[in-house]
Structure 1
């Protein structure tokens, strides 16, 4: 299982547009019952690349060659499309992971790249985790005191060590034991020599779906869009608190946790998931378009043109334009062919910032009152630069409409979020943010409007929408972030 690779020599991230977004930490994918399962996993990870661009990994199992792994920095297409590498991952069972590391740990080490592998008395097992363990620090201290030796800085490795200490007699049961100790959010895809396993935490914060291939093949994936690329049929979502164990063409469902009300991450609807995925039976694209409709109803403004901030603002901008009757136009064009990094960027290139990724359609913008529709405002740095570009192109007015409520609280359930004091909405009112960004008007969709767009019931909205986690907007955390509280994080007070 040894597999070393040095990180990129010049990891300067030029994607200034994406850097000012909230990022999912990872995506997971697993396949069994097909020849060359690792190739299917590579395709699935390519479809999930939006969930993590820093690194990826695949583990496969073959009866003659045992477990094999490959972990690499960079895009799936740059690593897992080479025949020489994929030939080292034989077998009919494989899992994979794409990673976007948490703040402050970019490019830490190849040892932090999942899936993780462990050898137990009843055989080996590999595990890939999407989410965040909110009591990982306490678990790690306990495990180290009892003799565990950690190989990575990832909270996910705690699961492997907890499994190793379980007294259960098979790996799925050991995984149940381990995950009962874990707090926070997790969608897990794991494998043994014969089984593909998928688990969602009791609140179902992070997504996981089940797909079916021809014959006896099954797929587990973070999103339905990754099923499409390999021609798999969507079967259903793994339910909150459910474990599925897939072997021999059969799917066994288990319920290892106490039943709780679902708290699925509402930001999956707003930004994280690909627009061609399906969540809860609803098209993500249609939900985002409906967010734009609700936004137009809540925050109308006289203008000449509705423009998306590409690409995440596009469906909401289409909905806003349709509802408002204001023409839709591609006022900002995204350069699809710019890589995330330059080898040796000069200072002049660094200062170009957003202009390397986005360019204004001057002929369309000049003299117009422009509504810019974006999915969120995090630090506000990119929003200010885009506003300046629009004004430089001759726009008469610039109005921002944001397809999510103000992001005022950090996420501790698997999303790369700045510290609270760096979130613009945590320290400024809406009017103060408008002045800071220097735009003619700024409006966010209300939390109720967002719930209407995602199809939440009126009863659910009046009961603080128990079917969703909205902590990044409301400060209401469904699972107490124990590690962060220990480090000094203050929960929302009654006055807030």
Structure 2
């Protein structure tokens, strides 16, 4: 990247491909006092970042000028009867330690916390608001709040809108656990079709969509899910948050048919993912994104489902109750809030794995 090239020219060596290391190097090699060094580093960055660092008795948090990634500021009661300040990437972390949510760090804001309290500086002018909408779809924990709404409720509303947009006659609604559960609850509630678990998840197996090798992903899926006997002889609606490569959904659909399902209707609580993410979510290269070069019918054929429907862009947006202009939807629309070097379309997303 341009930043890495600039650091190399300044003879600053980096040991990993982590963006966080590059940001830390900018700050560490700046002779200015810490707040000024952070502000100067922010001015050289482009893209998504919400960073918390601890140094010299100071806790510092800062967020990119578009607010693509969340950063929460909380207050925690101390033994002296006052409050200490807390920074966290999600509000659920504040709940865990008994802290109270105060507000979100503003886009482009730099907060410095020390024994004197909190100092806030608008280090960069706020750009167009562009909170990642995939935080609502998948990335954030359901018990966190984003832009004033609890994520679980947003996902339930996505499921309700999905049922309104794509009704189907079926016997059971079931999620792909755990990511599809809130939307499946919403789909069941709106449609009146009974909700069931249907698939039991082995929680000792990690996430499969980020495995670098297709063979490892497929092996992980078989270890991760097992269908219940009640799916036999039933018409199923299975709900998930998204389809990336399509390999997971294809195997799950086949697994349910093998278990005796009569029909498997797939409902996805977000639009088709057609473009890579340059802002920290490990989507595949554009060539591997199943929906980037396929029609809806070709997608249905790829996963082997009886039917397939993705929630509309308008339905997803309405479920968030946020203005369209305040979110990033680039993975669904190919319209990015920042400059994206097209020549890095493939290379930028090949993370080094050891």
Deviations 1:377-412 (A, max 9, x none): 011111011101111111110000001100110000
Q: 1:437 to 1:224 in 2, by over 3 A?
A: same
Aligned partners of 2:69, 2:289: CA distance in 1, in Å?
23
Aligned partners of 1:303, 1:249: CA distance in 2, in Å?
61
Match of 1:420 among 269, 282, 286: 286
C-alpha contact 1:375 1:404 (8 A) present in aligned 2: yes
Match of 1:201 in 2: 64
Task: Say if 2:335 is the partner of 1:476.
Answer: yes
Match of 2:182 in 1: 315
Aligned partners of 1:160, 1:322: CA distance in 2, in Å?
47
C-alpha contact 1:293 1:316 (8 A) present in aligned 2: yes
C-alpha contact 2:205 2:220 (8 A) present in aligned 1: no
Structure-to-structure mapping, 1:268-307, within 5 angstroms: 268-307=135-174
Deviations 1:432-474 (A, max 9, x none): 1001111110000001000110012xxx4xxxx1100000000
C-alpha contact 2:130 2:328 (8 A) present in aligned 1: yes
Q: 1:151 to 1:356 in 2, by over 3 A?
A: closer
Going by fraction, where is helix more abundant, 1 or 2? Answer: 2
Task: Say if 2:15 is the partner of 1:151.
Answer: yes
Match of 2:268 among 397, 402, 412: 402
Task: Say if 2:309 is the partner of 1:443.
Answer: yes
Match of 2:98 in 1: 231
Structure-to-structure mapping, 1:319-468, within 5 angstroms: 319-338=186-205, 353-362=220-229, 364-456=230-322, 460=323, 465-468=324-327
The alpha-carbon deviation at position 352 of structure 1 amounts to 5.2
Aligned partners of 1:143, 1:339: CA distance in 2, in Å?
35
The alpha-carbon deviation at position 340 of structure 1 amounts to 7.5
Aligned partners of 2:220, 2:44: CA distance in 1, in Å?
44
RMSD, aligned α-carbons: 2.1
Q: 1:202 to 1:338 in 2, by over 3 A?
A: closer
Q: 1:296 to 1:350 in 2, by over 3 A?
A: closer
Deviations 1:248-269 (A, max 9, x none): 2511111011222210000000
Q: 1:374 to 1:258 in 2, by over 3 A?
A: same
Gaps of 5+ in 1: 1-136, 342-348, 491-496
C-alpha contact 2:131 2:328 (8 A) present in aligned 1: yes
The alpha-carbon deviation at position 163 of structure 1 amounts to 2.8
Match of 1:185 in 2: 48
